[in-house]
């Protein structure tokens, strides 16, 4: 079980990465395939703890 501090850090890291990837896709700097690959990779890496603290 991860500590609360680590969960919060992972949530912030995931949110920032996802925001950047979404922005690049929105600005047509990456295509949909790269966007989906990158989204899956960060989801796997950070195991987004969304709703874990609720």
Closest CA relative to residue 50, chosen from 19, 3, 2, 14: 14
Show me where the domains of the chain are located.
4-46
- Digit-coded pLDDT (tens) for 32-51: 999 999 999 999 998 876 65
Answer whether 25's CB lies under 8 Å from 35's CB: yes
pLDDT at 53: 46
Number of other CB atoms surrounding residue 21 within 10 Å: 19
Rounded (10°) CA dihedral 38, 39, 43, 49: 140
Residue 17 reports pLDDT greater than 90: yes
- pTM of the predicted model, to two decimals? 0.78
């Amino acid at each position: 079980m991860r500590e609360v501090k680590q969960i919060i850090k992972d949530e912030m890291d995931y949110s920032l990465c996802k925001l950047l990837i979404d922005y690049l896709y929105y600005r047509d700097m990456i295509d949909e395939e790269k966007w989906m690959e990158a989204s899956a990779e960060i989801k796997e890496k950070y195991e987004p703890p969304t709703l874990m603290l609720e």
